[in-house]
A and B are shown apart, each in its own frame.
Chain A
Amino acid sequence: MAAAESYPEELKYHEEHDWARVDGDEAVLGITWFAADLLGELVHFEPPAVGSDVTKDQSYGEVESVKAVSDVIAPLSGEVLAVNEQVVDAPETVNEDPYGNGWLIRIRLGDPGETDDLLDAAAYRQVLANQ
């Protein structure tokens, strides 16, 4: 079952429809409900290698539905500490629980100051409203 639309207050957002849950010098990243809904049921996640670097505003992986492929944009820079293998095995987890079990990667932040550039939930909702 696809989740209902939501944008949790405790997350930071990137206008390319990505979220970050920052915890100290680490962050968990994923795609928003909006992105998952737009793509439809995900059938493939192409993750970055653990140990590789991701760069803010650049693609670090791909998600695919039956019809479409989409780059996943990094909201923050850092080194990949972990990839969510549950999503690799069952990509539809992202549609079912985009902010929980459907997280994509965990990183060690390269520049904690970058978090200041991200949007809060209200600002991200405004981005969606303007589309």
Chain B
Amino acid sequence: MSATLLHTPLHDRHVELGARMVPFAGWEMPVQYEGVIPEHRAVRSDAGVFDVSHMGELEVEGPHARDLLQATLANDVDKLAPGEAQYTLLTNEGGGIIDDLVVYRTGDCSYLLVVNAGNRAAAYNSLKEREVRGSDVRDVSDDCALLAVQGPRAIERLGLPPAPPFTFAETMLDGVEVMVNRTGYTGEDGCELLCMSEDAVRLWDAVLGRGAVPCGLGARDSLRLEVCYPLHGNDIGPDTDAVSAGLGWVCALDKEFVGVDALRRIKAEGPKRRLVAFAMEEKAIPRQGMAIEGGGEVTSGSHSPMLEVGIGMGYVPTALAKPDTELTIDVRGRPRRARVVKKPIYKKRED
């Protein structure tokens, strides 16, 4: 199969920087520049920048936009005032997860949804199907570029004022009009900068000029796994429900939305299996798809650059889900011991 991979507006910049480019969800994306480990550490200790322009942006507007989102998204959008953002799920009838996303309330009757690159069409179609008079769903992904600037010094390096997590503001950054979203996927302070596609190169150059280290999808994955943020397609998907995935806190089960009955039932009965985090007790690196003895499976696994051990997440029967439970993982035919740990696996130093 030879498919044409999509390029973000920053593709040439990545190539010039010597990035290793790989296919990801239909896009050609940088997996690393200098190396996954130094990039990971830069984000934990200072600031890194990721091109995440492959992600999708959907605008939902109109007097009934709120009703459409309230009926399709798991979290309660009424908790959002303009200028605020929320992590939420788009669920199917079975309580499975079509996509996990962040919704930004951009106005009284307007919202912006940032969805996973691979789920852009599914999310759009799912909302479009339920669109009613007075609500309008538009895919504006091609007009937008998105840079995640993450790390304890990210905000300082960008010269931005402090702001609470899950808020956003429009501002100018080195001459570029940006929406500064205090969100991210690394467990660190920082922001995601949304700008027009044609301004992406100028914004990227400005952010690098301010000292952020360019980081690829490799570090993005190891960072999110250390703090146990689920990855759609690995840890969650249309066949995994939100309660078993530990995302019950995102689901407002007291309102009506697609899949709520199934989720209420799973919550009442108690999930049969749960998504747990674990760390290896022996030298080995768990990987997606490996069996966990007793009927479980690894959904994400890697080496933790901060803890310097193998770490992962996976579904296990509820009886094995308590922290400190010993697990045995089949590492290509070799049984290796791991232990269930409380999420997140890596805890940020508070100093």
Chain A residues proximal to chain B, CB less than 8 Å: 2, 40-41, 43-44, 46, 62, 64-67, 69, 88
Contacts and interface: CB of A to CB of B under 8 A. Distances in A.
A44 B287 contact: no
Interface of B is mostly: mixed
Given A40-B36, A62-B332, A67 B31 contact: yes
A40 B32 contact: yes
Interface of B: 31-32, 35-37, 40, 218, 221-222, 283-285, 287, 302-303, 305, 308, 310, 332, 334
A40 B332 CA distance: 21
Given A43-B303, A44-B303, A66 B37 contact: yes
Contact of A65 (B36, B283, B308, B334): B36
B305 A66 contact: yes
Nearest to A67: B218
A112 to B, nearest CB: 31
A40 B40 CA distance: 13
A40 B35 contact: yes
B227 to A, nearest CB: 16
A23 B332 CA distance: 33
Contacts of B284: 44, 46
6 contacts: A43-B308, A44-B283, A64-B285, A65-B36, A66-B40, A66-B218
A67 B32 CA distance: 10
Contacts of B285: 43-44, 64, 69
A69 B290 CA distance: 13
Contacts of B36: 40-41, 65-67
Contacts of B302: 66-67
A71 to B, nearest CB: 10
B332 A64 contact: no
Contacts of A88: 283
B303 A64 contact: yes
Given A40-B218, A67-B32, 6 more contacts: A41-B36, A43-B285, A65-B36, A66-B37, A67-B31, A88-B283
A16 B229 CA distance: 37
A88 B284 CA distance: 11
Nearest to A69: B287
A67 B310 CA distance: 12
A68 to B, nearest CB: 9
Nearest to A88: B283
Nearest to B40: A66
Contacts of A40: 32, 35-37, 218
A83 B322 CA distance: 37
Best-surrounded residue of A2, A43, A66, A69 (most CB of chain B within 10 A)? A66
A66 B332 contact: no
Nearest to A38: B20
Contacts of A44: 283-285, 303, 310
Given A40-B32, A40-B36, A41-B36, A66 B303 contact: yes
Nearest to A45: B283
A41 B283 contact: no
